[in-house]
Chains A and B, each alone.
Chain A
Amino acid sequence: MSGGSDGLTVTDLHKAFGAHPVLRGVDLSVPEGAFAAVLGASGSGKTTLLRVLAGFERPDRGAVTVGGAILDDADRHLPAERRRIGYVSQEGSLFPHLTVAGNVGFGLRRGRSRERVVGHLLDLVGLSALSRRYPHQLSGGQQQRVALARVLAVQPRIVLLDEPFASLDAGLRAAVRADIHALLRRSGATAVLVTHDQDEALTFADMVAVIREGRMAQVAPPRDLYETPVDPDLAQFVGEANLIEGISHGSTVETRFGPLPLRDGRPPAGQALTVLVRPEQLRVAARAGSGPAEAGERRGVAARVVELDFHGHDAVVRVVAEAGAASPLIARVAGEVSLTPGTPVTLTVDGPVHCWPRPPAGIRDGPPVAVLAVDSVEC
C-alpha cells in the first residue's frame, strides 16, 4: 500500500505475554481516510495489535506512527488518553451509569459546545430520541451506534473497531455493519476493524490485512485477496476454495478440466502447480444418463453430486469426480434444486484461475510453512 506519513504506520511490531509471543513483527500501513480490516483466526494476535494501537499495551519492539507523529517506539509510549485513537470494543463498553447523551459527551469538555456536538452526533447515528435512556434500555445495535458516536465526538485520528458486530444477531449484523460503515465514511475517519469473519472483512474494508501467527500474511484490497491469495492456506481461510493439481503451459495451466487461463503470472512451462478454483467458478450441468461427459470448448469432468445445501438465493453442491479418488469439490450454483445427491453431472471451470508452484511430492504433506517458503515466488 502507498501508506505515507498521513495515515497509520506500524513497523516491525513485537509483543509477547510472558514467554508467549503474540505479535512477531507486524507491518501495516493504512492511508488516511481508508478502512482497513485485520482478519485473523482467534489467537492470531489481532486483538493484541488493536490494543497496542490504542495504547492499552506497550509493544516490546517496533514503532507506531500516526500522521508522521510517533506514538510508540523504543523510547516513547504515548498514553491512551493522549493518542486521539478511538476504540469501539466488542461489547461497546458503554458506561452503565450514564445516559446515552452522557456517554456520547464523556470525552468532551463541559460547555455549550458539548451539547451541540452531542446533539449533532446523536442525529448522525439516528438516536436523538433516545438521548436520555440508559445503555441497558438499548438494543445491541443501538448500543454499538452510541459507542461509535462517543468515539467520533472526540474527533479521533483513527477509529479502531474490535469485532464490534460479533455480539449482534446474525440478522441484525449486516444492517448495523452497513450503518456504521456509512457513518464512518461520512466522518472521514481512518478506521481499522478487527474481525475473524471474512465476509465482514471483505465487505467493510478498502484493504484487508490477514494476520497469521503474529505476522501479516497478506495485505491487499478485498478483491485481490480473494482472487490472488498468497498461498493455498490463505485461499481456504478467505472464502471456500477448491485446490486442484495442474502443470504449467506458460499462460495456461493443464488440469483435468483441460487447459485453464491463468489470471496472472507466467510460471515456467512444465512446473507443477496448485490451482485455485473458487466454488462460483465451477459450473455444474446435469448430465443425461451416465454416459461419458460431452466434449465442449473445455473438457468436462464427469462427477456425481454427494450433497446439496440449499440456501434460497443459491445452493452449495458437493461433487465427487467419477474417475480418480479425489476429495469432493465445492460448487456454488444459483437455485439448482434439481441436483439431488446421486445426480450425474458434468463439471467445467469458468474464467481465469490463480495458481502457486507446487512443491515436490515429498514435501507436500509437511507443515504449511513448507508451502509458504516456495510460494514467495509469484507465479
Chain B
Amino acid sequence: MTTTGIAAERRIPAVPARRRPLPWPLLGTSAAVAAVLLAPLAFLLIEAGGTGAGTIAHLIWRPLTATLLWNTVRLTVVVTALCAVIGTLTAWCVECTDLPGRRIWAVLVVVPFAIPDFVVSFGWASISPLVQGFQGAVLVMTLAVYPLVHLPVAASLRSADPGLEDAARSLGIGRVRVFLRVTVGQARGAILGGCVLVALVILAEYGAFEILGYQTFTTEIFTEFQVSFNVPTACALSLVLVLLSCVILGGEVGARGAGRAQRTGPLAQRARRRRRLGRATLPVEAAMLMLVGLALGVPVGAAVYWMVAGGAPSLTGVSILDAGWHTALYSGCAAALATVAALPVALLAVRHAGRAGQLLERSTYTVLAMPGLVIALAISYFSERYAGGLGYQTSVLMIAAYAILFFPLALVGVRASVAHAPVAMEEAARSLGRTPRAVFVRVTLPLIAPGLSAAFCLVFLACATELTATLVLVPTGVQTLATQFWAYQQNLAYGQAAPFALVIIAIAAVPSYILARYFDRLPGRTGDPR
C-alpha cells in the first residue's frame, strides 16, 4: 500500500524507541480482524481443494484462459502506462507550473475519480457504438482511473524539495533531463503506487467491460458463476486472477525497495518557484480542457441527455428513493464496521511499532489482491455450501463483504488519524490529573475524529459506487442504486438508468472533493483544528 499511504507514511517523531509491553487485548482484536479479512482467501482455497487439483488444472489449461490472460494483461499494461503519463503530467502542470486557473483544474482533474467506471462506460457506450472492445476499454478506463496516479503524484510533488531541481540545474543538466531525472525521480514512488492501484482496479473491473463487450478474467468469472452456475470454473479462474494481483503487488514491493524520495533539507519549507509555461500555456490549457471534457463532460453529459430525452417515468422517483435508502443503509453500516475494525489494527501499527503489529497490518493488505468479485463469490459460495446457507443473500453478509473489501481504505484513514493523536498527548493529559476515560473523551477522540470520519466517508463512497460485489450479494428483492441502474442499463432503458447514474455521481463527487481536501492538508502541520 503506497499511494493512499501518502499521508499515512509520515510517522510521528516518536520518543526514542522504547519498547512497551505488547498490549494483549489490542493484539487479540487485531488478530481477529486479520483472520476475518483473510477468510475469503481461505474460502477460495477450500473451494479449490473441494474441486480437486486435477480438475482445476484441467480448467486452467484451456485456450479460454490464454485469451483471457492476453485480454487482461494487454489492457492492464496499456491503461496503466497511459494513466502514468497522463496522471504525472496533470500533477506536474497543476503543482509545478504557472498554469492559469490551476486551482480549478486541480479539482476538475480529480473529480472523474468519483464517477464509477461503469457509469463512465455507460456514458460513452450509450452515445457512440464505436466505443467498444479493446480500444473502447482503453479509452474508458484511462479516463476513469488516471486520477489514481494524479492524486499521489501531486501530493508527492507538493512536498518534494525544490532545492534538488536547483541543484541539478547548477550541475549543468538541461531542463528536460531535470524534469525526467529529478522531478519524476522524486515522485517515482508515488507514480509506482498509483500504477499499482490502476492495475488492481482494471483486474477487478466488471461493469465497464461488460457494457463495452470486452472479455477479461473478471467478466468471465462473473458469467461462469452468476449465469452458468459453473462454480469450479469460476473458482479456477479466480485463482489465476488472484495470482495476477499478487504479482502486481509483489512487483511494487520489489521496485519500491530501491530507495525513497525524502526531503533531506532543513524543516523550513521553501516556496516552490513555478515553472513558466510561456507560449505553451494555451496548448496546455486546451489539453486540460479536452481531458476534463472527455473524462467528466461526456459521462455527465450523456446521463443528462438520456434523462431529458428519455422522459423519465414517474415511477423512477419512488424506486430511486428506495434504492438510495438501501445503498445508504448498507454503505453506512459497512463503513462504520470497517472503521471500527481498523482502529485496533491502526493503533497497534502506529503505537507499538513491533513485528507483530507490522505483520498484522500487512496481512490486512492482502485483501487488495482479492478483487471484489472474488471476495463476493468466495463469501457467498462458502455460506451456501459449507454454512448451510447461513446468511446467504442477507444484508448482514452484504455489509460484511463490503467491510472486508474496503478495509484497506478504512485503515489508511484511521492510521493517519491515529498518528495525529500521539501517546505523548495522552500522557500530558493524564499528568494534568485526568482519568483515562476523560483523556479519551477530551483528547484522543477530538484528535482522531476527523480522520475517523474521513475513513468512514471513504468506505461509504466506495460501497455506494460498488457494483460487482453488490450484484452477487444483494439480498433478494432489494435494489441499490447501482444494481437498479445496472438492471435498466442492461435492458437498454437508458432513460430510466440515467437518473440513477446522476444520483450516483452526485453522492460520490461532492464528498470526495471534501475528502481530497482533507487528505491534502494531512501531511502539513501536526494538527490543524480548522
Taking Cβ atoms with an 8 Å cutoff, the residues of A that contact B are: 17-18, 20, 42-43, 47-48, 54-56, 79-87, 89, 91, 93, 95-97, 106-107, 134-136, 147, 150-151, 153-154
Contacts and interface: CB of A to CB of B under 8 A. Distances in A.
Contact of A136 (B434, B442, B528): B528
Nearest to A89: B424
B528 to A, nearest CB: 6
A93 B15 contact: no
Contacts of B15: 47
A97 B446 contact: yes
B28 interface: no
A67 to B, nearest CB: 17
B432 A93 contact: no
B114 to A, nearest CB: 29
A93 B430 contact: no
B58 interface: no
Interface residues of B, number: 29
B527 interface: yes
18 contacts: A18-B19, A42-B16, A48-B18, A55-B430, A79-B430, A81-B434, A81-B439, A85-B431, A93-B422, A93-B424, A96-B420, A106-B434, A106-B442, A107-B432, A134-B529, A136-B527, A147-B428, A150-B428
Interface centre among B19, B431, B530 (most CB of A within 10 A): B431
Nearest to B425: A93
B19 A106 contact: no
Helix, strand, loop or mixed for chain B's interface? loop
Interface in B412-447: 420, 422, 424-425, 427-436, 439, 442-443, 446-447
Nearest to A134: B529
Contact of A56 (B420, B425, B427): B427
**Which 6 interchain pairs have the tightest Cβ spacing?**
A96-B527, A107-B432, A80-B430, A93-B428, A87-B431, A97-B446
A80 B528 contact: no
B525 A80 contact: no
B529 A84 contact: no
A83 B424 contact: no
B19 A96 contact: no
Given A17-B18, A17-B19, A136-B528, A95 B432 contact: no
A136 B15 CA distance: 20
B526 interface: yes
A107 B526 contact: no
Interface of B: 15-16, 18-19, 420, 422, 424-425, 427-436, 439, 442-443, 446-447, 525-530
A96 B430 contact: no
Contacts of A20: 19
A54 B430 CA distance: 9
Contact of B431 (A48, A81, A96, A135): A81
Nearest to B422: A93
Interface centre among B425, B432, B435, B439 (most CB of A within 10 A): B432
Contacts of B435: 81
B432 A151 contact: yes
Given A55-B430, A89-B428, 9 more contacts: A42-B16, A56-B427, A56-B431, A81-B435, A97-B446, A106-B442, A134-B530, A150-B432, A151-B432
A97 B429 CA distance: 13
A58 B479 CA distance: 57
A141 B18 CA distance: 27
B447 A97 contact: yes
A54 B431 contact: yes
Nearest to A150: B432
A82 B525 CA distance: 32
Nearest to A99: B529
A136 B443 contact: no
B427 A96 contact: no
A136 B431 contact: no
A102 to B, nearest CB: 10
A95 to B, nearest CB: 6
Contacts of A48: 18
Contacts of A84: 433
A48 B18 CA distance: 9
A47 B428 CA distance: 15
A83 B529 contact: no
Given A17-B18, A91-B424, A81 B525 contact: no
A357 B439 CA distance: 55
A18 B16 CA distance: 15
Nearest to B428: A93
B422 to A, nearest CB: 7
A106 B438 CA distance: 11
Nearest to B434: A81
B528 A95 contact: no
A89 B420 CA distance: 17
Contacts of A80: 427, 430-431
A107 B529 contact: no
B427 A95 contact: no
A81 B443 CA distance: 14
Contacts of B436: 81
Given A80-B427, A136-B525, A96 B432 contact: no
Contacts of A151: 431-432
Contacts of A18: 19
Contact of A107 (B19, B434, B446, B530): B434
Contacts of B427: 54, 56, 80, 87, 89, 93
Contacts of A150: 428, 432
Contacts of A153: 432
Contacts of A97: 446-447, 527, 529
B266 to A, nearest CB: 11
